[in-house]
Amino acid sequence: MSQYPWHTSHFSCLTRAIMSQLDQPEIGRQYRHMSWNVFVSRRIPTEGMDLLRQSGAEVRLHDEESPLPRNELLAQLRSCDGVIIGGGERVDAEFFDAAPKLKVVSCLAVGYDNVDLAEATGRRILVTNTPDVLTDAVADLTWALILGVARRVVEGDRLARSGKWRGLSPTLLRGVDVAGKTLGIIGAGRIGAAVAKRGTGFSMRLVYVARSAKPEMEALGGRRVTFDEILRESDFLCVHVPLTPDTRHLFGEAEFRKMKPTAYFINMARGAVVDEAALVRALRETWIAGAGLDVYEHEPQISPELLPMPNTLLLPHLGSATVETRRRMSIMAVENLLAVLDGRPCPNVVNPF
């Protein structure tokens, strides 16, 4: 017997209920009553689960926030028509071999670097994601990292709770100003543009790197620069690129050495965009002033050398983790899966064929 709890449910409702006008699906849309077999790899918000159960599918849920051991995950796939991936589970040839009936992998995420798209496409399995709905949440948390590391918020919180604070002192935990500094954005897509827009409230100079000029960045006073220029000029350098063969280890020792010794590095993209060992050295040897990180090269493991560093602010991959955003993501992931299984068009397929 597995040590993990499971829930298996059968429902025959043909229509979903409306949950709210802003966050929930439309009223009255119908699904074909099919006996689809669906596995959900992690606990997801109840709104998404309710919608899935209303579809008439047989649903099995791994009702935990932690991932299943690999062998147990694979054992759950044999009869699946669809899978909702709630975390960073590796979806590769071994995964597909264990799921001979699989038609769709629905990722509850905007990123899908954990999925072997070529393998999925070769097997005629569609892969979907949840874009757009998390833009504001990720941009907000980017700014939490910027302000938190610049103003030494975590160190201050720790001191206040320790009982060792002896009162106001002119030299206590001095941080750096954010207003008027240079904000660098690498990856000027929706999230990068949202981060840049927030920077205007701090009267920041904006520079960005993109394959072509971005009107939304130019409208904010942004200046498109080369990669080397953004490394040299940025006071706060924010990374918002997908993980691809071209962006893996985009940042290594050479790149960190080109940055200002007063600069802060913010990574909200994917951990493997950064050579974490090089970042550790850059922080230890003060090539840069500090770093705010939400992602790591070998998640959930974090380099032990990063943990005690006072010039870092470390978060456990919380970019989209708000109640509202995760609700929308769970609903979108379910809608994507049901659209594919039902033979309807799905706008969020990342490997159309």
H runs (alpha helix) in the chain: 46-54, 70-75, 93-97, 117-122, 135-150, 153-162, 190-199, 215-218, 227-233, 253-258, 276-284, 323-341
Please report the pLDDT score of residue 7 as a whole number. 43
pLDDT at 171: 97
What does the pLDDT look like over 50-109, one tens digit per residue?
999 999 999 999 999 999 999 999 999 999 999 999 988 999 999 999 999 999 999 999
Q: Is 317 in the active site?
A: yes
Give the active site residue among 58, 253, 299, 305: 299
DSSP structure class, residue 202: G
Tell me the average pLDDT of the chain.
91
Give per-residue pLDDT as tens, 19-40.
333 344 443 345 554 689 999 9
Mean pLDDT of 117-146: 97
* Residue 160 C-beta-side C-alpha neighbours within 13 Å: 8
Average pLDDT over residues 207-234: 97
For each of the domains in the chain, give its residue range(s) and CATH number, in order of start. Answer: 6-133+323-341 (3.40.50.720), 135-314 (3.40.50.720)
Q: What value does the CA radius of gyration of the chain take, rounded to a whole number of Å?
A: 22
Write the pLDDT tens digit of every residue in 179-188: 999 999 999 9
Which pairing describes strands 6-9 and 58-62: parallel, antiparallel, or unpaired? Answer: antiparallel
- Which among 270, 326, 327, 328 is annotated as catalytic? 270
326 belongs to the catalytic site: no
Question: Kind and range of the H or E element at 61?
Answer: strand 58-62
Residue 131 has pLDDT above 90, yes or no: yes
Catalytic site residue from 198, 223, 248, 317: 317
DSSP 162-191: HT---S--TTTT-----TTSEEEEES-SHH
Q: Is-catalytic flag, 270?
A: yes
pLDDT confidence bin for 350, thresholds 50/70/90 = very high
Q: Are 121 and 351 in contact (CB under 8 A)?
A: yes
Three-state SS at 84: strand
Q: What is the pLDDT of residue 35?
A: 83
Locus of tokens 């942004």:
222
Please answer whether residues 14 and 56 qualify as being in contact, where contact means their C-beta atoms are separated by less than 8 angstroms. yes
Q: Cis check for the bond before 300: say yes or no (omega within 30 of 0).
A: yes
Which of the residue ranges 4-18, 78-92, 123-137, 216-230 would you say has the lowest mean pLDDT? 4-18
